[in-house]
Amino acid sequence: MRTVINNIATYLPSRVVTNDDLSKTLDTSHEWILTRTGIERRHLVSDGEFASDLGIVAAKRVIEQADFDPANLDAIIVSTTTADRHFPSCGARIQGEIGAVKAFAFDVGAACAGFIYSLTIADSLIKGANLKNILLVCCETLSRFVDWTDRSTCVLFGDGAGALLLQSSNDDHRGIISTKLYTDGSKEKYNSILAHNGPQNDHRGYTTMKGQSVFKYAIECMDQSVTEILTENDMTFDDVDWIIPHQANRRILESLCKMKNFPPEKMIITTNEHANTSSASIPLAMGYGIESGMIKRGHTILLTALGAGLVWGSAILRL
C-alpha cells in the first residue's frame, strides 16, 4: 500500500510587493534583500483575507483539477501556524466550505516543517487507518505575524497556499517512500524564531528571529535529515531527480550545495518569487516545478525543511 500524490494546486494572493516597494517605508534596499536572501518579491494577503481563505482557493482548485467529489474525502489535514483564529481550526472551515461532508479535519502546527509533518500524518492514516482519500492543505499568512516596521524580519516572508490530493494506491512504483521527523525544543537558545502574539504575551508582539543561528541550524539540520533518510533507504543523490527544500533563504540552499555537496542542478528554488511562506513553501515550489515542466510523473523527489521549534525533517516520494 502506497500513499500517492495524485494532484497538486497552489494559490498566491494577488497583491505583489517588491523589495523596492518595501524600501519606500523601511530602511532597506532591493540590493540588501536580494543579496542576503535571494528574495525579489512576495505575494501578500489584503485586508480581510486570511489563511483559510487561501487554503479554500487551493483546495477548490485541486478538487476541480482532479475532477474529484469532495464528499469522498476521508480527512482534511491543514498545515498552518498562522491560522485565522485559535479555534475553530482552518481545517474545519475548509471542510465546511468545500462540502467534504464525510471528512474529519484538523490543523497541524509545525511551522516551516509543517508540510513534511502533515505528509507523514497523512501517510500514516492511509497505511495505518485504511483511509483512501486525504486532502492536505498548507496555508500561511506570515505577513499577519510580523512587525512591518522591523526590517530584520518583515522583508523575509510571503503568503500563499498549496493543496494536494493524497490517495491510497497499490502501485508500488509511486508514492511516499519514506519520511523522517525531528524536534529539538530542549534548549532555549534553539528557540530562535518566536511568534510572540499568543496568550502568554497577552496577544501582543510579533515574530522575532535570531537570523544567524537559525541560518546555521538550517544547514546542519537539513543536511542531517537528508543524509539519514537517504542512507536508511539505501539511496544517494544519484537516485533523486529533484530536491525541494523549504524556501527560507537562497543563501541557505547555496550553502547546502557548497558545504554539504547537495547537487545544485537538482534543486528547485522559488525564493525569489515567493519569499518564505512557511509550510506552504514546498507545495508552492512543487507546483511551480510541475507547471514549468521540470517535474514529471515518475520523478523521485527529496523534500527537506526546518522551522521554529526547532522542528525539521525530510521526505522521499515518487510522483
Note the residues at the interface with ligand UT7 (CB under 6 A).
28, 32-33, 36-37, 112, 151-152, 155-156, 193, 211-212, 214-215, 218, 248-249, 252, 276, 306-307
Nearer to ligand UT7 among residue 6 and residue 18 (C-beta): 18
Nearer to ligand UT7 among residue 131 and residue 248 (C-beta): 248
Tell me how far, at minimum, the Cβ of 256 lies from ligand UT7, in Å: 12
Tell me how far, at minimum, the Cβ of 205 lies from ligand UT7, in Å: 18
Write down the catalytic residue from 112, 138, 139, 154. 112
Tell me how far, at minimum, the Cβ of 247 lies from ligand UT7, in Å: 9
Nearer to ligand UT7 among residue 168 and residue 281 (C-beta): 281
E strand spans, the chain = 2-11, 15-18, 41-44, 75-79, 104-108, 133-141, 159-169, 175-183, 193-195, 207-209, 242-245, 300-307, 311-318
Tell me how far, at minimum, the Cβ of 71 lies from ligand UT7, in Å: 36
Sequence-ordered list of residues with C-beta below 8 angstroms from that of 194, at least 6 positions apart, any chain: 207, 208, 209, 308
**Residue 246 designated active-site:** yes
Q: Which residue is nearest to ligand UT7 (CB)?
A: 211
Q: How far apart are CA 154 and CA 78, in angstroms?
A: 24
Tell me how far, at minimum, the Cβ of 189 lies from ligand UT7, in Å: 15
Sequential DSSP letters for 216-283: HHHHHHHHHHHHHHHHHTT--GGG-SEEEE--S-HHHHHHHHHHH---GGGB---HHHH-B-GGGHHH
Cα dihedral sign, 143-147-149-150? negative
Q: How many angstroms from the chain centroid is the CA of residue 163?
A: 11
Tell me how far, at minimum, the Cβ of 307 lies from ligand UT7, in Å: 5
Cα dihedral sign, 151-155-156-159? positive
C-beta separation of 208 from 300 below 8 A: no
Write down the catalytic residue from 43, 246, 249, 274. 246
Nearer to ligand UT7 among residue 260 and residue 299 (C-beta): 260
Nearer to ligand UT7 among residue 289 and residue 307 (C-beta): 307
Bridge pairing between strands 133-141 and 159-169 = antiparallel
**Residue 221 designated active-site:** no
Q: How far apart are CA 135 and CA 123, in angstroms?
A: 12
Nearer to ligand UT7 among residue 26 and residue 66 (C-beta): 26
**Residue 112 designated active-site:** yes
**Would you please indicate which residues are annotated as catalytic (active-site) residues?**
112, 246, 276
